[in-house]
Chains A and B, each alone.
Chain A
Amino acid sequence: MIDALWKLTHALGWSVHLGGALVMELVWRPAQEGMPQSQIGVACQWMGKRYRWISAFALAAIGVSGLAMLVDVDRSLSLGGAYGRTMLLLVMLWVSLAVVLAVLSSSAHPGLHARIPSGASDEDRQAARALVARAIARMDRLLRLELGLTALAALVGSSLHAGGLW
C-alpha cells in the first residue's frame, strides 16, 4: 500500500508540475491576446502567487517520494550503469527546476508588482508600464524553460522503468 502511495505522490507531483506548465503555455498565454496589459499584469500577479506555492509543493512531493522509492530500488545506482546515469540526470533536472522556481519567486514575479503613483508624470507611467511588460516577458521565458525542463524530466523518468536512457 505504501509503495503505491509513494508512486501516486510521485506521479501527482510530476503531473501538477508538467500539467501546470502546459496550462500556462497553451491555455493562459494565448488567452492573454487582446486583454489590456494592466489586467494581464494583475492576473499574472494573482496566478503567480498560487502557482509558485503549488509548484514548490509539487517539487517537494517529487523529491520526498523519489527518495522513498530510491531506498527500495533493486538496481545498481553506479554511474557505470545506464540506470545510475539516468537517475543522476533526473536529480540534476530536479535541481534545475528548483532553481528556476526560486528565480521565478524571488525575481521575476516581484517584477510584476510595479505600482504607478497617483501623481506620476506620463513619462513615469510609461516607464512603469515598460517595466511590467519586461517582467511579463521574463516570466514567459522562465515558464517556457520550466516547461522544457519538466517535459525532459518526464521523458528521463519514463525511461527508468526500461533500465535508463543510455
Chain B
Amino acid sequence: MQVVAAYLHVIGVAVYLGGAIVMEFVVGPAQKAIPPAQAQVMGKRTADRFLILAWSALGLILASGLLRLWSLNNESVLFGERLWSTEYGRTLLIMVSLWTVLVINGSIITFVLRPKLTGKVSPGLTAAQVQTHQQSQIRAASILSTITRIDLGIAFVVAFLGSALGLGGLERMF
C-alpha cells in the first residue's frame, strides 16, 4: 500500500509540476515558430488538454496524499491537535493550504479566464464593442500567464515542503 500511495503521489506531482514546466518552457514557446492561425489552434488544444491533466493531477495528489498518511499510520495528524502542535503537522498544514490555493487558481483559470479567451465575437457587434472584447481577451491572457507562473512557484514550494516532510517537517531543517 505504501508503494502504491507513493507511486501515485509521484505521478500526480510529476504531471502537475513537470507538466507545467514543460508547457511553460517547451510547448508554449514553440507556438511562436508556426503561423499565428495554427499557433492559436495549437495553443487552445494544448491548453484544454493540459487543464484536464492538471485537474486530474490535483485530485490524484490529494487522494494519494491521504492514502500515504493512512498507509504510514499518520492520518490522525489531520484531525487532531498534532496538526498545530507538531512540526510534521504544521508542514502538512502549509502544504494543504498551498494545494487549496492551486485549486482556487485552477478554478479562476478554468471557469473565468479560459471562457473569456475562447469566447467568439458575435456578428452584430459594433467596432467599439469588438475592440472592448479584444482588450478583455488580452487582459485575460495576461492574468492567465501571471497566475500560471504563480502556480508554478507554489508547486515548487509544495514539492520542497514534501521533501521536508520526509525528514520530519520544515522546522527540523533550520
Which residues of A does B touch, CB under 8 Å? 1, 3-5, 7-8, 11-12, 14-20, 22-24, 26-28, 30-31, 34-36, 39, 42-43, 45-47, 50-51, 54, 151, 154-155, 157-159, 161-162, 165
Q: Looking at the complex, which one of B27, B41, B167 makes contact with A47 (CB distance below 8 Å)?
A: B27
- 7 additional A-B pairs beyond A18-B10, A31-B42, A35-B38, beta carbons within 8 Å, are A4-B163, A12-B156, A12-B159, A15-B18, A22-B19, A31-B49, A50-B26
In this complex, which of A11, A14, A51, A165 has the most chain B Cβ atoms within 10 angstroms of its Cβ? A11
CB pair A19 B7 closer than 8 Å: no
CB distance from B57 to the nearest CB of A (A): 9
> What are some 6 contacts across the A-B interface (CB < 8 A)?
A7-B166, A19-B20, A23-B26, A27-B27, A36-B38, A157-B10
Q: Establish whether residues B34 and A43, one from each chain, have CB atoms under 8 Å apart when the complex forms.
A: yes
**Number of chain B residues close to chain A: CB under 8 A:** 44
Q: Which residues of B contact A3 (CB under 8 A)?
A: 167, 173
Contact A23 B164 (CB under 8 A): no
Chain B CB within 10 A, most for which of A7, A17, A31: A31
Whether B49 and A18, one on each chain, are in contact in the complex, defined by CB atoms closer than 8 angstroms, is: no
| A19 and B10 contacting across the interface, CB-CB below 8 Å | no
**In the complex, A4→B26 CA distance in Å?**
28
CB of B67 closer than 8 Å to a CB of A: no
Question: Is B38 a contact partner of A39 (Cβ separation < 8 A)?
Answer: yes
B45 within 8 A of A: yes
User: Is the pair B26, A27 in contact by a Cβ cutoff of 8 Å?
Assistant: no
Is there a chain A Cβ closer than 8 Å to B80's Cβ? Answer: no
Which of A19, A31, A161 is in CB contact (< 8 Å) with B46? A31
Q: Find the A residue at minimum CB distance from B162.
A: A11
Contact present for B11 and A154 (CB under 8 Å) = yes
A residues within 8 A CB of B22? 16, 19-20, 23-24, 51, 54
Q: How far apart sit A151 and B15, CA to CA, in the bound complex (Å)?
A: 11
Q: How far is the CB of A47 from chain B (nearest CB, A)?
A: 5
Given contacts A46-B30, A158-B6, A158-B7, contact A26 B21 (CB under 8 A): no
Q: Which of A11, A16, A50, A154 is in CB contact (< 8 Å) with B7?
A: A154
Of B11, B42, B49, B163, the residue contacting A26 (CB under 8 A) is B49
Residue in B3, B16, B17, B174 whose beta carbon sits within 8 Å of that of A12 in the complex: B17
Distance in angstroms between the alpha carbons of A58 and B141 in the assembled complex: 29
CB nearest neighbor in A for B174: A1
- B19: which A residues are within 8 A, CB to CB? 19-20, 22-23, 27
